[in-house]
A and B are shown apart, each in its own frame.
Chain A
């Protein structure tokens, strides 16, 4: 079975440019999460969706960050304009809300972003 698929795996961009990260959750999962990981702060939840609806975006650092989930199989995280302090690994994760594994969140392999 395909896991959570993220693209791009690596991105190097210049400060001020727009960055779009993409995620395809596991088929049948109806909850999707965006996390950011840095050495200093660890894994931080940015936003999560249930059934394509944003439930909690309190972790989104500022207005430069936005996330969308237009359908059950696709989500984007956009940073505009990007800044060097946005350099981090961005993980997408998904989960099936109901069922015995309701708390098991499956992570993608991450998008490694460097803003220079």
Chain B
């Protein structure tokens, strides 16, 4: 079993929809949780960063961490075609190496 599991998708939604992306993990020592966005043929870029449990909001994006369930989510409100990308969750027990999910490919159509 992988340490981090993520549904690869693809997920196809109409413009304006609310998108929910999720990851589960097995290592209870994970404390740092991140979401990266990767456009086609580009490197991943940090989208959201959360320490321990709770919610964090940044514009149209909300990240949630539920450590009791070992489950993290990224919500995108009012999705736009420019949000079409692969979204990777990442997590770490300490401030060193990150363990990534395999990524969920999202397509938002007009």
For residue A50, give the distance in angstroms from its CB to the closest CB of chain B. Answer: 8
Contact A107 B44 (CB under 8 A): yes
- B85 beta carbon closer than 8 Å to chain A: no
- Determine the interface band of chain A, counting residues with CB < 8 A from chain B: 20 to 34
Within 8 A of B (CB), among A59-111: 91, 93, 97, 102-110
Residue in A closest to B98 when the chains form the complex, CB atoms: A105
Q: A48-B96, A48-B97, A56-B97 are in contact. Are A43 and B43 (CB under 8 A)?
A: no
- B88 beta carbon closer than 8 Å to chain A: yes
- Determine the interface band of chain B, counting residues with CB < 8 A from chain A: 20 to 34
Residue in B closest to A41 when the chains form the complex, CB atoms: B102
A-B pair number, CB within 8 angstroms:
51
For residue A58, give the distance in angstroms from its CB to the closest CB of chain B. Answer: 9
Q: DSSP class of A's interface residues: helix, strand, loop or mixed? A: strand
Within 8 A of B (CB), among A16-69: 31, 33, 35, 41-45, 48, 50, 55-56
Contact B43 A104 (CB under 8 A): no
Contact A109 B42 (CB under 8 A): yes
Find A104's partner among B46, B88, B103 (CB 8 Å cutoff).
B46
Q: DSSP class of B's interface residues: helix, strand, loop or mixed? A: loop
Q: For the complex, what is the distance from the CA of A109 to the CA of B41, rounded to whole Å?
A: 7
Residue in A closest to B33 when the chains form the complex, CB atoms: A103
Contact B88 A42 (CB under 8 A): yes
Give residues in A with beta carbon < 8 Å to B: 4, 31, 33, 35, 41-45, 48, 50, 55-56, 91, 93, 97, 102-110
Offer 6 A-B interface pairs, CB within 8 angstroms, sorted by A. Answer: A42-B101, A43-B100, A91-B43, A105-B98, A107-B45, A110-B43
Known: A48-B97, A93-B43, A106-B45. 14 other contacts (CB 8 A): A42-B100, A42-B101, A42-B102, A43-B102, A45-B99, A102-B95, A103-B32, A103-B34, A103-B92, A103-B95, A109-B41, A109-B42, A110-B42, A110-B43
